[in-house]
Structure 1
């Protein structure tokens, strides 16, 4: 809790000294006295009349406004009037508790909300009064303080109570707020005037922020602005209405106060805005500026001051200023004093040097294209922010007329022409320097830079400009700087330099331009041809086969030149190892990867890979036959390194090694290596049994015998039975089949049965029909 100290007469009589903090008094002055005698205190501001007062109703002698004095503390104002959004007693220092007051039915103010474009105000303290002035301007000084100033707290960036000094002609309704950040239309608030809050917000109008207040501060608020001045332009002898108002916003928490300095509500005259370096309005060195302070009246007297010292002999309405300082004027109008002041700062003129700009001349006529800004570094004698413009004569440079419109590509019209550079700083201060346009002619002839085409072999590739530069260096003076450009114009202007790599845009040959600079001066601009040379054209990489069954016979590998003439060098490798062979073709009998590099007379090379894989004739390991079935098949099992295909009876080859739906009979099976290493053949029998025979002597189906019974099946055991199981015939290898007889007699048409065994022990049983 914080305690405010009452000023008892007994203490004064005993000469006691109290704590050094601001002290307040809610009872000694009426609102009329606070305005007329404390705030104004001048007979030259007349017809002062307080018309309305609003404050917190604390049901005691407490108020939310009143008189204050600094109690010998460091508070900038010795005394004055203070308005608060809380109890007046909580204004007093030190800053050891939170001012956080409320009162019953304490509303806000619509005029304040309208003037600041805000809403939801409450706890508004208001003093309204009328006045008349014999001058056209009034001013008073104030300090805004608030608990919502919280050092290091992001809330400072977001929340603020509101206050305003609202003024209007008495016969009008529209107020103007004059509690503004200097030289802006921004209302003074916590959120518009503060130093930076780390991690939350940057400083804003920090020049007008006073301080963060610690616990020993002379007032009970966490922060305050610097001393600010409210200014209003008025009409002489007209009645104006002023509303001094401060209010909480959103809620009653975290009170604020505004301190108005006693006697600071004064007549004033406007000497114009401060001319400051910080605002970009400072005067230029050597410049003269007039201050005008004329007020109506023939009997007025004027005194001028510079930095507080009277300028003797300066008694007119105008003062010529030619030096920096704080200037004041005192105007006496029939005993009423008006004051005006202005701060004037000067900034030095830019320093600029005359210089010569040398450009390359490609035809020795003394004329060229200049980038005038290339002279800027030599012109400027110091670091800073400057604007440089160029003119053809001194008068135009001074008058800022007929500016050179193409300074980056300026064509001089006479040798050694002079142009004029106007160098201007941010304050409009300028200096003029002469730039002499000189030309140099140093013929340099450069040999083409050649590079072999890439794998696309289309005449396009990328040039490493560092290598091109290394190619050029021996042809130019030592310590020269080299840049590359697409056109002669860009090279002369030293613009759009190419860096790193450059891909040619024309096939096989393209010309670019080289700018050679020596001692920071253009030495020469010359073309260089970038040439893309074609490597040998070779067949594509290929795969071929060596028949291992022919070893040590050799095959021929060829480098694969395509429609090429001239002399070429060949370098052969086998599995990455040099073979020592240098001919276009070589003889080999080993499996692996062969690489040939072919180099032409331009020293461009191409490489071709030939992969040699093994292959050979097939070896038939086995043949599986499914016979005497509804789907007879032949499956050939082979071994070998080749790729094999299969055929029956010289038919179409197939890659599958199984033939299906094979009719009974004797077949020639061929297995072929697709890599041309040879083929093998073998005969295969597929056994089958006729379903009928017709022994009628017409030589068609006159006998019955198993189909496919060749030498492979010479040992077949074939027995034929009638339907009753009587053995009728055993066929021998020398017989050509059964003729349908038994013991010389013809047997009738009927179904007969057979049992056939082969040498592997497999038995076949079935029946067939004899037809007569």
Structure 2
């Protein structure tokens, strides 16, 4: 079934015409020959039968699968079988055009969609075949290439065509895909195997990515995977069905291809998974590992290799290994060769040190509470990622049983007890170190630390522990580390250390636990008393007034110490400048801010501010009178720095400077400074004119007398007329009133008119009634 003549002709044309690019042949091989002679090429795999072929219909000018030859190019496979989602002719390099083909009625594949849980496939190329194997494992090598590999383009992170190597027993329906990322069940696609795309996606399975292809690439695709191996476990001499399928997804654009290496469909024997550092399965330093290649049959022969070099004398079914390398085995079963290989890597055993963990002892019994993890840094002799657990015996540590379940709060039961730290790396490799639990007793008595209360004077304040630490440092060995805790247990276990700023929780006096560490070991655990001292109690800040009209007289300011005995020091400032005064009371006559700082015998201080504001007696600027109206009023306008209040006729003071609804008459108005800087009084008249009078000699309303006439109305003139305009009488501000006569004669009852003229030019007119 081998077409040597056609192949030689093809190679001749290739070498003569096309240079260093992969070349393809769509004519020289049938699908049966491509599988049986090219892909498999071994009599040890039997009953090979191609059952179905599907590809693109290009009108007989091309097809979507066929033979390829590496043509001495840089392509990793020298020859093999290729399946594409486009024209076979577009597989050949160089990579100078876009493989972007379609064909009429070229559908997808439902099996591929089901197994990969995908949808909307089209342009599917399929070759299906049956086979039987005398081994329990078969493998073949392949490379996936695609135009959808686009360097630096985010499309690489999102889009991929699909392919699968689907296999199942002949009498079953469920396929398994063996075209997966090694050691996973992830299908190989553009989106699952690529290097990083800056700004779009991180690398994924980059170890299995081959290259981005430039225009000189030997194939016409933009990128490709590394060489990958498909592996299937099978039962001997049972018929299996294989479906090789590749398809576009969503649309026909940007084709892909899968290259299967000639002769790589081999029988295999399983030596187990690779033991690699990268996937966390490496062996431990010094560990011996047995490889097993047992195959049925008494006449089988075995040859073992390490890194390609045969291990002379190793001809058994097993091989014990104790060093790194790639190990291979060849199993000859009646002339059929089964191949197996496995990569073995070793990781060093963790390096550890025996150490002593020292804890403080408060009663000299050699017992204390330990955080065993405090010894971890001393146990570990190197950097790395490790898990440390603790045990009471070496045997328990070696067997990882009966782990100490309270390692962060472990109470030793005997002085100088030894516990065992098992240090394990991520590969399960371990080593054991001894940790001796030692105690030390150093009684220390610390002087109380005292600080002044805050402004609340409630016995609570914030302590600056840096200052407390500085005081303690004078009583302990140099270079000691000092830490503060709420409880002894926290101190022993280094839990919840208190930050530098601490507010006491018990008023005025509270004990705090102090841990002193020297040379990384506990030196002492003791307590220090924190005392809160009272500041002087002062009256609140205040405002007071100085009467500027009394300058240079002085007033007294008092520091405001409240109900306290003892000795106090006083320091006075005026507008921020030291006055040099140190008495409780001072005399001042200047406006501004006075500040007094009062310090008691504990050297605690309080500060009080007194704002001295200006005030003085009022100065009347104007008096506005509304008179001879239905709503008479007086408004007093004053100037000055004081706060002023106003009273009428020695009545109640008011803050308003206006009095309303006043009857005609003369009023006594007092303006007072509420800051006691003085008052002034002034008489104010409101003119008013009676509506009638009754001059009948009963001494009641016998005269028509205007109201509110006084010295404020000099040169006042009132003219009285009858209804005909005849002048009857002229009154001035010194006359008592009009008696209803004219030249000694009584005038009759009637209405009479008046005109009042004031010295300021104002006039009032009206009329009144004379009744007899």
CA 1:384–1:14: 2 relative to 1, 3 Å = closer
How do residues 667-706 of structure 1 correspond to structure 2 at under 5 angstroms? 667-706=667-706
Aligned to 1:249: 249
Match of 1:230 in 2: 230
Tell me the equivalent position of 1:60. Answer: 60
Q: SS at 1:275's partner residue? A: coil
Shift of 1:404: 1.2
8 A contact 2:591–2:613 mirrored in 1: yes
Whole-angstrom distance in 2 between the partners of 1:744 and 1:552 = 66
8 Å Cα contact 1:130-1:241 kept in structure 2? yes
8 A Cα contact 1:98 1:220, kept in partner? yes
| Cα displacement (A) at 1:758 | 3.7
The residue aligned with 2:487 is 487
User: Could you tell me which residue of structure 2 aligns to residue 50 of structure 1?
Assistant: 50
Corresponding residue SS for 2:736: coil
Partner of 1:752: 752
385-394 vs 336-345, greater mean Cα deviation:
336-345
Partner SS state of residue 281, structure 1: coil
Q: What is the DSSP-based 3-state SS (H/G/I as helix, E as strand, rest coil) of the residue aligned with 1:330?
A: strand
Residue 168 of structure 1 is matched in structure 2 by 168
Aligned-pair CA distance for 1:400: 0.9
- CA distance in structure 2 between the partners assigned to 1:72 and 1:628 by the alignment: 129
Higher mean C-alpha deviation, range 552-561 or range 759-768: 759-768
State yes or no: 1:264 paired with 2:260. Answer: no
Task: Say whether 1:310 aligns with 2:310.
Answer: yes
In the alignment, is residue 115 of structure 1 matched against residue 148 of structure 2?
Answer: no
SS in 2 for 1:475: coil
Pairing 1:509-528 to 2, within 5 Å after superposition: 509-528=509-528
Residue correspondence of structure 1 range 699-738 to structure 2 within 5 A:
699-713=699-713, 715-731=715-731, 735-738=735-738
Instruction: For 1:560 and 1:125, locate their aligned partners in 2 and report how far apart those are by CA, in whole Å.
Output: 102
Secondary structure in 2 aligned to 1:661? strand
C-alpha displacement at 1:18, in angstroms? 6.1
CA deviation map 1:667-701 (0-9, x unaligned): 21111111111212222222221111122232221
Q: Taking structure 1 as reference, are residues 626 and 93 closer, same or farther at Cα in structure 2, changes over 3 Å only?
A: closer
Distance 1:33 1:14 in 2: 20
Identify the residue that residue 767 of structure 2 maps to in structure 1: 767
Task: Summarize the alignment of residues 597-608 of structure 1 with structure 2, pairs less than 5 Å apart.
Answer: 597-608=597-608
Change (3 A) 1:480 1:14: closer
Aligned to 2:642: 642
Note if contact 2:7-2:28 (Cα within 8 Å) is conserved in structure 1.
Answer: no
Q: Distance in 2 between matches of 1:404 and 1:541?
A: 64
In structure 2, what is the equivalent of residue 464 of structure 1? 464
* CA distance in 1 between partners of 2:257 and 2:699 (Å): 139
SS at match of 1:491: helix
Q: Contact 2:116 / 2:187 at 8 angstroms: preserved in 1?
A: yes
Pick which of 741-750 and 84-93 moved more: 741-750
Query: Compared with structure 1, are the counterparts of its residues 286 and 370 closer, same or farther at alpha carbon in structure 2 (3 Å cutoff)?
Result: same
Question: What is aligned with 1:355?
Answer: 355
Aligned counterparts, 1:201-350, within 5 A: 201-350=201-350
CA contact (8 A) 2:713 2:733 kept: no
Provide the rounded CA distance (Å) in 2 between the counterparts of 1:390 and 1:170.
55
CA distance in 2, matches of 1:168, 1:11: 36
Residue 664 of structure 1 corresponds to which residue in structure 2?
664
Aligned to 1:146: 146
Aligned partners of 1:18, 1:628: CA distance in 2, in Å?
Answer: 128
Is this contact kept in 1: 2:86–2:101, CA < 8 A?
yes
Give the CA deviation at 1:324: 1.9
Query: TM (normalized to structure 2)?
Result: 0.95
Q: Distance in 2 between matches of 1:403 and 1:444?
A: 36
Q: Residue in 1 aligned with 2:610?
A: 610
In structure 2, the partner of 1:95 is 95
Please give the per-residue CA displacement for 1:593-638, whole angstroms capped at 9, x wherever unaligned: 2111111111111111111122222233443333222222223233
- Does structure 1 residue 583 correspond to structure 2 residue 570? no
Distance between the aligned counterparts of 2:190 and 2:384, measured in 1? 34
The alpha-carbon deviation at position 103 of structure 1 amounts to 2.2
Residue 446 of structure 1: CA displacement?
A: 2.1
Distance 1:10-1:431 versus aligned 2 partners, 3 A rule = closer
User: Which residue of 1 is the match for residue 3 of structure 2?
Assistant: none
In structure 1, C-alpha distance between the alignment counterparts of 2:258 and 2:564, rounded to whole Å: 97
- The 3-state SS of whatever aligns with 1:728 is strand
Query: In the alignment, what sits opposite 1:3?
Result: none
User: 1:714 deviation in Å?
Assistant: 6.3
Cα distance in 2 for partners of 1:482, 1:131 equals 78
Tell me whether 536-545 or 103-112 shows the greater mean CA deviation.
Answer: 103-112
Q: Aligned equivalents of 1:738 and 1:64: distance in 2?
A: 139
| Offset, 1:717 | 3.1
Distance 1:230 1:435 in 2: 50
Aligned to 2:394: 394
Matching of residues 119-198 of structure 1 within 5 Å: 119-198=119-198
2:478 corresponds to 1:473: no
Flag the 1:352–1:755 CA change in 2: closer, same or farther, 3 A. same
Q: Distance in 2 between matches of 1:475 and 1:281?
A: 55
**1:214, distance to aligned residue in structure 2 (A):** 2.6
The separation in 1 between residues aligned to 2:90 and 2:64, in whole angstroms, is 9
Alpha-carbon displacement from aligned partner over 1:726-755 (angstroms, at most 9, x marks no partner): 443444666533333344443332222333
- Structure 2 counterpart of 1:571: 571
CA gap 1:16/1:691 in 2 versus in 1, 3 angstroms: closer
* 8 A contact 2:419–2:434 mirrored in 1: yes
Counterpart in the other structure of 2:454: 454
Distance 1:166 1:15 in 2: 35
SS in 2 for 1:376: helix
CA distance in 1, matches of 2:9, 2:136: 43
CA spacing shift, 1:687–1:63, aligned 2, 3 Å: closer
Partners of 2:733 and 2:83 in 1: how far apart?
141
CA deviations over 1:435-489 (Å, ceiling 9, x no partner) = 1111112222222222222223333332222222222222221111222222221
Residue 352 of structure 1: SS of its match in structure 2? coil
For residues 762 and 57 of structure 1, the distance between their equivalents in structure 2, rounded to whole angstroms, comes to 122
More off after superposition, 230-239 vs 275-284: 230-239
Question: What is the aligned partner in structure 1 of residue 432 from structure 2?
Answer: 432
Displacement after TM superposition at 1:573 (Å) = 1.3
| 1:209–1:714 CA distance, 2 compared to 1 (3 A) | closer
Work out the CA distance in 1 between the residues paired with 2:732 and 2:225.
135
SS in 2 for 1:543: strand
In 1, distance between residues paired with 2:220 and 2:377?
56
Please state whether the residue corresponding to 2:661 is helix, strand or coil: coil
CA distance in structure 1 between the partners assigned to 2:682 and 2:72 by the alignment: 131
Shift of 1:41: 1.6
Stretches of structure 1 lacking an aligned partner (at least 5 in a row): 1-5
Question: For 1:218 and 1:714, how far apart are their aligned partners in 2?
Answer: 128
Q: Does 1:555 align with 2:559?
A: no
Give distance in 1, aligned partners of 2:769 and 2:192.
121
What secondary structure does 1:438 align onto? Answer: strand
Over 3 Å counting, the alpha-carbon distance change for 1:103 and 1:15 in structure 2 is closer
For residues 304-357 of structure 1, the C-alpha deviation after alignment (integer angstroms, 9 at most, x for no partner) is 332233334433333222222222222233332222221111111110000111
**Which whole-Å CA distance do the structure 2 matches of 1:9 and 1:591 have between them?**
119
Question: Is the Cα–Cα contact under 8 Å of residues 26 and 61 in structure 1 kept in the other structure?
Answer: no
* In 2: Cα distance, 1:194 partner to 1:762 partner: 107
1:533 shift after superposition: 2.2
